[in-house]
């Protein structure tokens, strides 16, 4: 229930309930337009018509009940048809007169007030702007890019950094993440804040309590430490819609598309959509207005799922899971496009599960369905191609060389330096990124 702003005179006032608020195609197109057109909403006419229609129906219903009662009374008195008709007509005139008169005396100003409503601000008022909480940690001016998100961005299941912090371990951050790949190939310092299990509410916008009791600070607030970052890369959504739980339920159930699980997923995707648009709105007002790139999720399943049959995955279940993954990706893409952000769809085609060279960890690996090191590299390649051209996005100053690596990737655990932990990626891997990006 959203309180309304207009003041209505009299004891009878309309109760206005805002439900099923969506951004339709026309509004989204207008928001993406470069022309300075004004968003006009035809609220006044619809509100006044709704109020009038309500009392028209209320009057008709009252007249109907009155007619039934008058006919019953006339029948009990055994009145003739002519007298019964006069009784009913007289009674209806009285009922309608009282009803209309009551409305005129108690709510006559309401239609005029409703016709004065021209915008949503007139209807429900303006929401006071909420400033993002400022991080009190040491600024990181040497960071060119920031990665926020969940276990996909953290590269859970892959090797840990050479000198991981306790938060790196708890979040499952790896030196094989796509953040590290981008840092090496572009000679950037990349701040990777991603954490396994992170959702928008508990991880990106709010703090995240980890399994070992540590508390990871809100990733979006930590992003502001990178005072000169030009690009923010976002990978989020799977934990918001309980993708892991949905997959396990699907494997354990006879079918995946029962109405209960479908209703649960619809509820989760609806809640995620609202949180996601809040995140995008907060990203849009970050200081320095960095570019934003949203990663969609890869498809872990291909045409051949024979190796998964013993785990309970069938072609029918695969179809349901991919359909729900498609719904999540559609929300990610539509939101990014609405706010004018970049969006990318990392292709794992030919490297899904059950292929000779999968980019996805299998059931026997440390983090099933998560990208391997090669999968993280594929995501980095997709991001490299989709990264917007940003003026001033120059290579970072070379950090002090350490054994095994030269490029910088700042992690959330390395608050004391701009590049906490060296990136250990072979020259062959670096060259593969450069060659693939050049070919595209």
**Among candidate residues 98, 128, 158, the one where a domain is terminated:** 128
Strand partners, 408: 189, 422
- Would you give the DSSP letter of residue 109? T
CB 408 within 8 Å of CB 396: yes
pLDDT value at position 49? 76
What are the CA-CA distances from residue 107 to residues 2, 49, 111, 217 (Å)? Answer: 21, 14, 8, 52
CB 185 within 8 Å of CB 427: no
Helices (H), 2-161: 25-32, 43-76, 81-107, 110-115, 120-124, 151-154
Q: How far apart are CA 367 and CA 360, in angstroms?
A: 9
- In a shared domain, residues 265 and 184: yes
Q: How far apart are CA 291 and CA 390, in angstroms?
A: 8
Residue that wins the pLDDT comparison between 40 and 157: 157
- In a shared domain, residues 164 and 122: no
Q: Is 0.75 surpassed by the pTM of this model? A: no
Question: In sequence order, what are the residues at sequence separation of 6 or more whose Cβ sits closer than 8 angstroms to the Cβ of residue 282?
Answer: 132, 205, 220
Please tell me the total count of domains within the chain: 2
Residue 144 has pLDDT above 80, yes or no: yes
**Among candidate residues 128, 159, 191, the one where a domain is terminated:** 128
> Of 18-27, 116-125, 146-155, 406-415, which range is least confident?
406-415
pLDDT value at position 66? 83
Give the confidence band of 410 by pLDDT, cuts at 50, 70, 90: low
Question: Is there a domain that residue 85 lies in?
Answer: yes
- In a shared domain, residues 295 and 416: yes
pLDDT tens track for 296-312: 999 999 999 999 988 88
Give the confidence band of 74 by pLDDT, cuts at 50, 70, 90: confident
pLDDT value at position 70? 83
Residue-range definition of the domain harbouring residue 89? 1-26+41-128
Question: Is there a domain that residue 138 lies in?
Answer: no
* Section 57-83 average pLDDT: 84
pLDDT value at position 147? 97
Residue 433 has pLDDT above 50, yes or no: no
Q: How far apart are CA 335 and CA 277, in angstroms?
A: 7
What are the DSSP E strand ranges found in 336-404? 342-344
Question: In the block, which residue shows the tokens 């890869």?
Answer: 298
- In a shared domain, residues 74 and 170: no
- In a shared domain, residues 202 and 81: no
> Of 44-48, 144-148, 237-241, which range is least confident?
44-48
- Compute the 3-state secondary structure of the chain and give helix, strand, coil in percent, each to the nearest 5: 45, 10, 45
Q: What is the dihedral of CA 89, 90, 94, 99, to 10 degrees?
A: 0
Residue that wins the pLDDT comparison between 252 and 180: 180
What are the DSSP E strand ranges found in 173-260? 189-192, 208-209, 215-216, 231-235
Q: How far apart are CA 341 and CA 335, in angstroms?
A: 8
pLDDT value at position 143? 94
Q: How far apart are CA 300 and CA 324, in angstroms?
A: 13
Mean pLDDT of all residues in the chain? 80
Give the confidence band of 120 by pLDDT, cuts at 50, 70, 90: low
What are the DSSP E strand ranges found in 108-173? 145-149
Query: Closest Cα partner for 371 from 384, 385, 386, 353?
Result: 353
């Amino acid at each position: 229930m959203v309180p309304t702003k207009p003041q209505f005179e009299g004891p009878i006032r309309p109760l206005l309930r805002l439900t099923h608020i969506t951004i339709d195609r026309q509004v989204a197109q207008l928001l993406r337009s470069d022309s300075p057109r004004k968003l006009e909403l035809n609220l006044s006419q619809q509100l006044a018509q709704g109020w009038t229609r309500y009392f028209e129906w209320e009057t008709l219903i009252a007249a109907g009940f009155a007619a039934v009662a008058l006919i019953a009374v006339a029948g009990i008195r055994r009145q003739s048809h002519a007298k019964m008709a006069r009784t009913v007509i007289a009674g209806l005139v009285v009922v309608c007169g009282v009803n209309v008169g009551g409305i005129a005396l108690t709510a006559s100003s309401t239609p005029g007030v409703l016709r004065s409503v021209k915008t949503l601000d007139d209807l429900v008022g303006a929401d006071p702007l909420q400033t993002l909480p400022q991080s009190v940690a040491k600024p990181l001016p040497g960071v060119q890019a920031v990665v926020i998100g969940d276990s996909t961005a953290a590269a859970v299941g892959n090797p840990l950094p050479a000198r991981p912090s306790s938060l790196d371990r708890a979040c499952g951050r790896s030196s094989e993440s796509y953040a590290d790949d981008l840092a090496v190939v572009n000679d950037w310092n990349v701040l990777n804040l991603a954490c396994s299990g992170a959702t928008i509410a508990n991880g990106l916008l709010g703090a995240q309590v980890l399994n070992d009791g540590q508390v990871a600070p809100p990733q979006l607030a930590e992003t502001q430490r990178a005072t000169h970052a030009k690009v923010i890369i976002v990978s989020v959504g799977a934990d918001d819609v309980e993708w892991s739980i949905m997959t396990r339920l699907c494997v354990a159930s006879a079918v995946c598309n029962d109405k209960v699980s479908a209703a649960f997923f619809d509820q989760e995707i609806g809640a995620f959509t609202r949180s996601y648009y809040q995140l995008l709105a907060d990203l849009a007002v970050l200081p320095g207005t960095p570019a934003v790139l949203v990663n969609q999720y890869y498809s872990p399943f291909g045409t051949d799922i024979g190796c998964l049959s013993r785990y309970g995955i069938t072609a029918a279940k695969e179809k349901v899971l991919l359909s729900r993954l498609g719904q999540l990706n559609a929300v990610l893409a539509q939101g990014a496009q609405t706010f004018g952000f970049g969006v990318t769809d990392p292709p794992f085609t030919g490297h899904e599960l059950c292929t000779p060279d999968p980019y996805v960890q299998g059931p026997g690996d440390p983090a099933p369905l998560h990208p391997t090191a090669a999968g993280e590299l594929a995501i980095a390649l997709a991001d490299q191609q989709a990264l917007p051209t940003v003026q001033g996005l120059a290579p970072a100053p070379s950090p002090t060389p350490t054994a095994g690596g030269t490029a910088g990737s700042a992690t959330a655990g390395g608050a004391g330096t701009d590049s906490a932990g060296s990136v250990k990626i072979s020259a062959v891997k670096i060259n593969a990124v450069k060659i693939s990006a050049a070919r595209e």
